[in-house]
Amino acid sequence: MPGNKQLASWSELLWGRNGLRSLALAGGVALHAVNVYIVATVLPSVVRDIGGLEYYAWNMTLFVVASILGSAISPKAIDSLGLRHSFLLAIAVFAVGTAACAAAPTMGWMLIGRTAQGLGGGLILGLSYSSIRILFEERLWPKAMALLSSMWGVATLAGPAVGGVFAEADAWRWAFWTVIPLSLGLAVLVATQISAHATTRSATPVRVPIGQIGLMIAAVLAISVASLSLELVWNVIGIAAGVAISVAIAMLDKRAGTRLLPTGGYSLNGNLGSLYACVALLSIAMTAEIFIPYFLQEIQGYTPLAAGYFMVLLSAGWSTGTISTSSRGLAVSNWLLRIGPVLSAVSLLGLAIVQPMASVDHAVVLGWAIGILLFGVGAGIGITWPHMLTQVFRISPPGQENMASSAIITVQLYALAFGGALGGMITNAAGFTEPGGLVGTQQASIALLVMLALAPALAAWLIRPVVRSRGIVAA
């Protein structure tokens, strides 16, 4: 239509009824994202209070696998319940999970709450992004997408602040309780600004690849359960089971009527499969942020607030790398795709050397070194990410473009959950819980960071044939 060709303005998106709707959708993403950083900041205080150090990584692992399920069922929820009721259900599940975390007397209760948070949060995320095409004119879609994406930047500032303040006051539970009023406020916005009839009913029933998602959860849980044992044989069995189930996912998905990945997405002999593998490997590298706040507090003696804001440097590196290199020509893009994973791998190896050091005399120097290396991990991923994802869009099979783009999130979340479970196994085996304390934490930090450095190093190796084969085109 002619109106769709008119240039959209930010005022049009952020003013009047559109403004309130934008606030609702952005608030949904912000609620999920802020919660992620709050938990990362307060988790060291949680395990010191209620125990469960051996389950430290489970807090992220269960949250992410539940988020995968929540995000995957969001189209079905819209089709069955409509947009407003789907949102209200998701917010209710998230709020109940948050309350369970706040009141948790043991780590078991905390993990139940985190699972509910992940399910509700993943559903909120999926609904928020899906709502853009339902609530706004097409010409407003790019700006609405940018607005929602920017909420992760807001979260990196707000999350550590909220979590750090309450953790330092020895009141970590209130960090969760403060999220409840935000959930209620979001529910009010949704109830008043999103029509009960706002939906896009499909001509054919929306199907969810529940079999593949179930296997994803099984693979992650196999490694997580095995990580509780300090016996090497059980660790090996857990990893083997996780890998075997992952292979089964690929085999099932290739024959399934409702697929997770497009044609060629599982083949490392093709460009598309190699790119998805790189997405997974770089996402695994990011799981370092689960443990870094604990390492900083236990080894260097940083406060929860300071440790939380160190993680902002990793996010800042990602954002800086993405923004500064996103509009580059073919030759530069090819070079960035090669050098980005290498930068992340080298930075993680540097952290493996510096992070275990505990020196009062050189605390400032250590702090600067850790900060620069964290920034380097994020920057390496950031300078690679936009070029890699752009190529996924461009080389996806005809007719499967939407599947190819949505699969990026699925692969990313699965890799985060898988990496978190694997990280829990590595740290526990290296001494995180036994002997524990300073020595155990130092040993765990070395083992984890060295192992995580292998992921971007492997990505650097996988991406080179793709670039040489001219599978990468100018962005």
The reported pLDDT for the residue numbered 323 is: 75
The reported pLDDT for the residue numbered 4 is: 46
What's the CATH number where 149 sits? 1.20.1250.20
Query: Do both 45 and 162 map to the same domain?
Result: yes
Q: Is residue 432 part of a domain?
A: yes
CA distance 316 to 385: 14
Query: Quick one: which of 250, 189, 241 has its CA closest to 218?
Result: 241
The reported pLDDT for the residue numbered 421 is: 93
Give the tens place of pLDDT for each residue, 214-238.
999 999 999 999 999 888 899 999 9
**Distances in Å between the alpha carbon of 110 and those of 115, 161, 166, 198, 360?**
9, 21, 17, 35, 35
Q: Is residue 340 part of a domain?
A: yes
Q: Is residue 131 part of a domain?
A: yes
The reported pLDDT for the residue numbered 3 is: 43
Query: Do both 292 and 243 map to the same domain?
Result: no
Amino acid at 331: A
Query: Do both 103 and 246 map to the same domain?
Result: no
Cβ burial 215-224 (10 Å sphere, 16+ → b, else e): bbbbbbbbbb
High-pLDDT (> 70) share of the chain, % = 93
- Cis omega (within 30 of 0) for bond into 304: no
Query: Do both 15 and 152 map to the same domain?
Result: yes
CA distance 22 to 34: 17
Q: Is residue 204 part of a domain?
A: no
CA distance 446 to 448: 6
3-state SS, one letter per residue, for the chain: CHHHHCCCCHHHHHCHHHHHHHHHHHHHHHHHHHHHHHHHHHHHHHHHHHCCHHHCCHHHHHHHHHHHHHHHHHHHHHHHHCHHHHHHHHHHHHHHHHHHHHHCCCHHHHHHHHHHHHHHHHHHHHHHHHHHHHHCCHHHHHHHHHHHHHHHHHHHHHHHHHHHHHHHCCCHHHHHHCHHHHHHHHHHHHHHHCCCCCCCCCCCCCCCCHHHHHHHHHHHHHHHHHCCCCCHHHHHHHHHHHHHHHHHHHHHHHHCCCCCCCCCCCCCCCHHHHHHHHHHHHHHHCCHHHHHHHHHHHHHCCCHHHHHHHHHHHHHHHHHHHHHHCCCCHHHHHHHHHHHHHHHHHHHHHHHHHCCCCCCCCHHHHHHHHHHHHHHHHHHHHHHHHHHHHHHHHHCCCCCHHHHHHHHHHHHHHHHHHHHHHHHHHHHHHCCCCCCHHHHHHHHHHHHHHHHHHHHHHHHHHHHHHHHCCCCCCC
Q: Is residue 264 part of a domain?
A: no
Domain end, chosen from 153, 176, 199, is at 199
Name the most confidently modeled range: 16-25, 340-349, 357-366: 340-349
Residue 233's domain comprises 209-257
The reported pLDDT for the residue numbered 197 is: 65
CA distance 164 to 40: 10
Query: Do both 70 and 191 map to the same domain?
Result: yes
Has residue 74 got a pLDDT over 90? no
Across the range 289-312, mean pLDDT stands at 91
Quick check: 454 and 460 in contact, CB under 8 A? Answer: no
Q: Is residue 126 part of a domain?
A: yes
Query: Do both 320 and 187 map to the same domain?
Result: no
Query: Do both 244 and 381 map to the same domain?
Result: no
Query: Do both 215 and 290 map to the same domain?
Result: no
Q: Phi/psi at 60 (nearest 5 deg)? A: -85, -40
Quick check: 320 and 435 in contact, CB under 8 A? Answer: no
Looking at the structure of the chain, the number of domains it has is 3
- CA 139-182-95 angle, 5° bins: 105
CA atoms within a 13 Å half-sphere pointing along the CA-CB vector of 44: 29
CA distance 453 to 351: 10
Quick check: 350 and 379 in contact, CB under 8 A? Answer: no
Cβ burial 15-49 (10 Å sphere, 16+ → b, else e): eeebeebbbbbbbbbbbbbbbbbbbbbbbbbbbee
Where residue 474 falls among pLDDT bands split at 50, 70, 90?
Answer: very low
The dihedral formed by the CA atoms of 53, 55, 57 and 58, expressed in degrees to the nearest 10: -150
Query: Do both 25 and 154 map to the same domain?
Result: yes
Q: Is residue 135 part of a domain?
A: yes
Q: What is the mean pLDDT of the chain?
A: 87
Across the range 82-98, mean pLDDT stands at 95
The reported pLDDT for the residue numbered 85 is: 93
Q: Is residue 265 part of a domain?
A: no
Query: Do both 232 and 275 map to the same domain?
Result: no
Query: Do both 129 and 30 map to the same domain?
Result: yes
Q: Phi/psi at 435 (nearest 5 deg)? A: -80, -15
The reported pLDDT for the residue numbered 39 is: 94
Domain end, chosen from 151, 168, 199, is at 199
Domain end, chosen from 199, 225, 241, is at 199
Quick check: 76 and 204 in contact, CB under 8 A? Answer: no
Has residue 412 got a pLDDT over 70? yes
Give the tens place of pLDDT for each residue, 136-180.
887 787 778 778 877 887 888 888 989 999 999 999 999 999 999
Query: Do both 281 and 239 map to the same domain?
Result: no
For 463, counting Cβ atoms within 10 Å of its Cβ (0-12 exposed, 13-18 middle, 19+ buried), the class is buried
